[in-house]
Amino acid sequence: MSSMSLAKKIGFTIAIALTFFVVLAAVSYVAVSKLNSSFGDFSESVEEGNAASDKVNVALSMRSNIAEYLTTTNPEHVEHHLEMYSTLSSDLEKFTREANNDKARKALKDATALMEGYNSAFSKIVDLKGKQSQLLDEVVRPGGREIKDMLKELLAADQAKGDIAGAFATSSALQSMFEAGSAINSVIVKYNEEDIAEAKAKVAELSSKLGVLKDDYQMNVDFDESLKDELKERVLAQSIEVAAGFSKGVDELAATLKSIVEIDAEELRPVGPQFVKKMEVFQDTIAEHQAELKENAESLQATVNFSVALISLVGLSIGAVGGWYVVRGITRSIDEIVGRLQGAAAETLVASEQVSASSEALARDSSEQAASIEETSSSLEEVNAMTEKNAQNAENAKKLASEARVAAESGAESMKDMITAMEDIKESSDNIANIIKTIDEIAFQTNILALNAAVEAARAGESGAGFAVVADEVRSLAHRSAEAASITAQKIENSVQKSERGVEINQRVAENLQTIVSHTQKMDEIVGQISDASAEQNRGVGLIQTSINNMDSVTQRNAAGAEETASSSRVLLEQSNSMQRTIQDLVAVVNGGSSKKSAAKTHSSYSAPVENAFDAAPSRSSGSRQNSAVKDDAFADMWDN
């Protein structure tokens, strides 16, 4: 191996080291590939676990959506339920196909079956809710309104005729109708058996009182034919007929509400806990698979660590031994060459000193020109300072415009909030109007009760005289309440109209603010453009100043300096030739040949050029031309740099 060239020795050592690095890289690549595969499986498993948790959340969202539908009967909840069920069903089907064991697959199938039953039960509730709405809109509510209207018509007729007993019986039936309507509304809001029973009882009481009204009327007509009233007879017959349909509708409504409650309690509520248990089984299988993947990855990691450590230790040992052997062979040849290079470097130093002296003269001449250019640079700095101040002012103007824009936009947002508040005030006024209407109805019912009390007082005779006075006062109070409610309703109507006027004015103000915001945005953009232009101007002045600073060098050719530099260059050329021959000896050593013969030739020949170089030293008369050449070369170097 001693006869091998330096390149071959180094190449052989590097080849051995690379071989071990290749082996190490191959082992690491295989290990990393397997670890990546394990990590990929583990990541997929984690994603499956997260997806399973998401499915439980979806199920909870479906339950919440159904609860809101039962309260509001909003069709949007039905569409939302179908979207969530479709997504959940497809995800469960995907999980079932990708399940890696029978336990997980069975749990997912059971969960799918549970959600299918859940969706089917909800479809039943949707149908029943439709039936409920149909009964309310087509039977119960229209029938109740019709019965109230006919009873009010009968009450007005009896009062006009002075039939106190008939008016009392009619008002009693009307009160039963109001109570039946209230009980039905309670059942619709929240279902319970007691309210159902009360609603049915009130409807039966209404039918009974209508029958009593008809029987009393028929008995009076049989006793006195002159009391026959075709209007009353027709209204009573029609009221009894409508009451029969109303009672049937209430029974169907009660049965529908009961079916909805039973389906919710028996088919919907139990599904949630069962679905969670099935998804927990699926999550447990995922956790078991993750534990198995973790154990395999840890085992593979330990094996890889041992293999990499062993290969690295062997490679480092061989590399250290080979490197020591190569370095020892190189050092012996390099030491001899270094000695010759030191001699040549010493002679190069002498020539460099001459170049340094010329450079000093060049520097003195350059300082004179630098002084004049410095004055120009100072003036330019003042211009630059003014430009920077202008750019800073433009930037401040840009900030102020931006702040004005933000303030205008904030004012627009505040105006939007004010519009919303005015709309809320209008809505509150509408609600108060509805309350006043309710007070008017209460006054009407109070008047009816006072009338009934007067009838009872009339029946009681003298013993009921005091009660009659109280009844008159109650009627008077009800009359005043109705008048007050009417006056309040008119004032609230005026308030509603003013609120609407305020909403319109706020909308116009909001439009004006939006126009201000638009103009402020345009002004902000224009100021931003001015700021950008000022910044560009500042950068341009900076570039000019940099160019002036670069021009702070020598611009005239100095002939004396050029001659001196040329003479020094010839000396350096000879020294370069000597160094070139020395380098050839170094190349011979590197290529494996003998360097003793070429070293002797170089040693005997490199001193002569040095003597010729010193003999050719420049005279004093050529000093000015040498300084000029040095100055030109320095300027060229500074300009290029």
Give per-10-residue mean pLDDT for the chain (641 aa): 62 73 74 66 68 80 83 86 88 84 86 89 89 87 88 85 83 87 81 81 87 84 80 85 88 88 86 85 80 77 75 72 65 64 64 64 64 71 76 78 76 75 75 77 80 78 73 78 80 77 77 77 77 74 73 61 65 71 67 49 42 40 45 42 41
Cα separation of 404 and 394, whole Å? 15
Q: Report how far residue 581's alpha carbon sits from residue 190's, in angstroms, rounded to the nearest whole number.
A: 111
| The predicted structure's pLDDT at residue 325 | 66
pTM (2 d.p.): 0.42
103 phi and psi angles, rounded to 5 deg: -60, -50
Dihedral (CA of 544, 549, 552, 553) sign: negative
How many of the other CB atoms lie within 10 Å of CB of 101?
Answer: 11
pLDDT of residue 618: 42
The predicted pLDDT at position 626 comes to 47
Per the rule left: phi > 0, alpha: psi between -120 and 50, beta: everything else, 162 is left
Q: What local confidence, expressed as pLDDT, does residue 636 receive?
A: 38
Determine the residue type at 296.
N
Torsion, Cα 200 206 208 214, to 10 degrees, reads -150
Q: Report the pLDDT value the prediction gives residue 239, as an integer from 0 to 100.
A: 87
- In this structure, which amino acid lies at residue 210? L
- How is residue 506 written in tokens? 């706020």
Instruction: Provide the 3-class DSSP secondary structure of residue 269.
Output: coil
pLDDT at 608: 40
Distance CA 61, CA 609 (A): 98
Q: How far apart are CA 22 and CA 27, in angstroms?
A: 9
Identify the CA nearest to 170 among candidates 249, 239, 244: 239
Rounded CA gap, 132 and 126, in Å?
Answer: 10
Predicted local confidence at residue 188, as pLDDT: 80
How crowded is the C-beta side of 597, counted as CA atoms within 13 Å? Answer: 3
